[in-house]
Structure 1
Amino acid sequence: MGPVLMIAAAVVPSLLILRYFVKSDRFPEPTRAILGTFFLGVLIVIPVLVVALPLGAALEPRIGQPLALAGVQAFLLAAIPEEAFKLAVLLLYCRRHKAFDEPMDGLVYGVTASLGFATLENLLYVVGGGEGWIGIAVLRAFTAVPGHAVLGAIMGFYVARARFEPERAGAMLWAAFLVPMALHGLYDFGLLGAALTEEAGWIGLGLIVLIVEVVWALRLQRRLRREQQVLLSAQAAATLAQSPTPPVELEPAPRSTSPYKID
């Protein structure tokens, strides 16, 4: 029973967050596309390790200053390769999928790819946590896992803008990589800085970055949901306009309202 609980503790947080974002899409994506994106996110752990392990072995012994080492580990060994390969999944698989046909899709696929990576990463941390695996699972369920998800949402938002605003595609694709990479690196730098310098104050940087990421991603999600509601309303109006002309009323009918409130 212990191994089952350990695996569940590592995997369930990712699945709950994934369900939240998938269900928030008013035009749901095909299950096959979601599963394909998720498992590609899992698979990119391999090239990330292929890049990070030899690079770390070559660089880390040469760096004696703790904060410099934290910077190398946070950016060169984690943020840059991880976000680069997540972006590759979005560009080489998701963006080419016929189901990627409106802006919210970018956000959903970005979250999905990131959570595929986060699920395997989390499983490795929890299983390798020894007797303290419960604490690791709980801590990561509220930090690293949602952090990966919201970075994927931000990345996917910019990928979608590149797709649907081709005149700005170059700038949007650079933003799709640089923004999540910078946020990821700063978050890791705060945690690693605290661990390597034994100064707990650096943790504050990581927490601030995590809060910024979450708020930013949720605002983008809300913005795209409003856009979807506008589209739904337009579709409903078009359907009504094509319906047979209703009988003439002697008095004006009361003004109808949308079932959704748009702030």
Structure 2
Amino acid sequence: MWAWENMVLPENVSQIPFMKKDKDITCCICHQRLDPPYNLLGGRAYCDHHYAVVNRPHPSFWRAALLQLLGMALLAGLVAWLAETFVGPLAGMPLLVASLLLAIVPSALWLIFFYQQDRLEPEPTQKVAAVFLLAALLTDVLGRRIVYDWYQVNLWAPTDTLTSLLASILIIAVAAQLIIYVAMRVLVYDSPEFDERMDGIIYGTVAGLGVATVTNLHFVLGSGGVALGPGVIQTVTTALAQASFGGLQGWFMAEARFEHKPVWWVPLGFLIAVVSNGVFSWLIGEVSATGLQVEAWRSLLFGMLVAIFAFLLLAGLMQRSHAVTLRR
């Protein structure tokens, strides 16, 4: 790869006095040689195809995403009500089967949704699966080790409110968002398939679902016989949260991928996602608590509202980026 292939270009390439006419300017995605006039976005050059793709609007995706959020919340509420009404705590093999279903189904529903919605230029199934599996693997072998073995958060974090909040942000959320970043950066960030802003949100969400799946699996198995009602609400809430914050971090990474951004841009996105994730995880316990009892329904409502807000925010950011590109 030539040194000038990824260099930042001004909006008018002729403003570069030292650039020779015989030197190639290539698309920053596929590295195809370009001829004037150039498609420039954020100081980077694109071929016609990728310039059209990078900012492609997805209005139907966002409408369907909101319906998916509401549908998951209603389904979780229905299952929880049925479980509390007709089924008691489980043990043994029934617990194992229920645990696997509770841990996997919320994430599976999201993955099916993304696969159905991303039909204009679907992401390679292998890439999506790889991001999900790597995030899940890192959560199991690294994330949980950081939280429970190295820092032993469960032993000292509940000491007081401030300690619990700081542990949630600085340890638990940092570990989760770092795993999401690594899964995206290693597997898809520099690949030609990562060719539009929406891909950042999709891959970030998928990585978040990998984190959520393992977290949910350990939560249900470690409970020793959790009631299905609170269990399904907890797992759906966790999936909604990690999907939302993964998508938020993925958007920041996509912006840096397709436009020239300052060196602090991706760290800023990481910080925002970490603080949001940590505060949410801490608040979810506070919101669900009623004296010495825990009201799981409050967690579900709060998690759904946060997820809806996050996806509306991402939809607004995508629309703004698209409008800025059209003005150029």
Smaller-chain TM-score bracket: 0.7 to 0.9
Deviation at 1:193, TM superposition (A): 4.8
Deviations along 1:135-161, one digit per CA (max 9) or x if unpaired, are 243112431111111111111111100
> Counterpart in 1 of 2:231?
137
Give 1:164's match in structure 2, choosing from 251, 258, 261. 258
Deviations along 1:175-226, one digit per CA (max 9) or x if unpaired, are 321111111111122234568995889x989965762443222442476489
> Counterpart in 2 of 1:116?
210
Give 1:51's match in structure 2, choosing from 136, 142, 146. 146
Give 1:125's match in structure 2, choosing from 201, 216, 219. 219
Give 2:175's match in structure 1, choosing from 60, 64, 81. 81
Q: 1:103 to 1:207 in 2, by over 3 A?
A: same
CA distance in 2, matches of 1:34, 1:109: 7
3-state SS of paired residue (2:122): coil
Letter in 2 for 1:183: S
Give 1:66's match in structure 2, choosing from 145, 152, 160. 160
Q: 1:191 to 1:66 in 2, by over 3 A?
A: farther
Contact 1:118–1:145 (CA under 8 A) maintained in structure 2: yes
Give 1:174's match in structure 2, choosing from 242, 267, 270. 267
> Counterpart in 2 of 1:155?
249
> Counterpart in 2 of 1:104?
198
Contact 1:183–1:209 (CA under 8 A) maintained in structure 2: no
Q: 1:207 to 1:80 in 2, by over 3 A?
A: farther
Deviations along 1:118-149, one digit per CA (max 9) or x if unpaired, are 11111111222333241243112431111111
Letter in 1 for 2:115: V
Contact 2:237–2:303 (CA under 8 A) maintained in structure 1: no
> Counterpart in 2 of 1:14?
107
Contact 1:66–1:197 (CA under 8 A) maintained in structure 2: no
Contact 2:200–2:251 (CA under 8 A) maintained in structure 1: yes
CA distance in 1, matches of 2:189, 2:197: 11
3-state SS of paired residue (1:170): coil
CA distance in 2, matches of 1:196, 1:117: 24
> Counterpart in 2 of 1:253?
none
Q: 1:64 to 1:98 in 2, by over 3 A?
A: closer
Deviation at 1:30, TM superposition (A): 0.3
Structure 1, 168-177 or 28-37: larger mean CA deviation = 168-177
Contact 2:205–2:244 (CA under 8 A) maintained in structure 1: yes
CA distance in 2, matches of 1:9, 1:58: 24
Structure with greater proportional helix content: 1
Give the number of equivalent residue pairs.
227
Q: 1:191 to 1:55 in 2, by over 3 A?
A: farther
> Counterpart in 2 of 1:41?
135
Letter in 1 for 2:233: L
Return the TM-score normalized by structure 2: 0.59
CA distance in 2, matches of 1:139, 1:64: 22
Letter in 2 for 1:137: G
Letter in 2 for 1:170: V
CA distance in 1, matches of 2:222, 2:148: 18
3-state SS of paired residue (2:193): coil
Matches within 5 A, 1:111-260: 111-166=205-260, 168-193=261-286, 211-221=305-315, 224=318
Deviation at 1:101, TM superposition (A): 1.0
Structure with greater proportional strand content: 2
Deviation at 1:104, TM superposition (A): 0.9
Identity of aligned residues (%): 25
CA distance in 1, matches of 2:288, 2:313: 32
RMSD, aligned CA: 3.4
Q: 1:133 to 1:94 in 2, by over 3 A?
A: farther
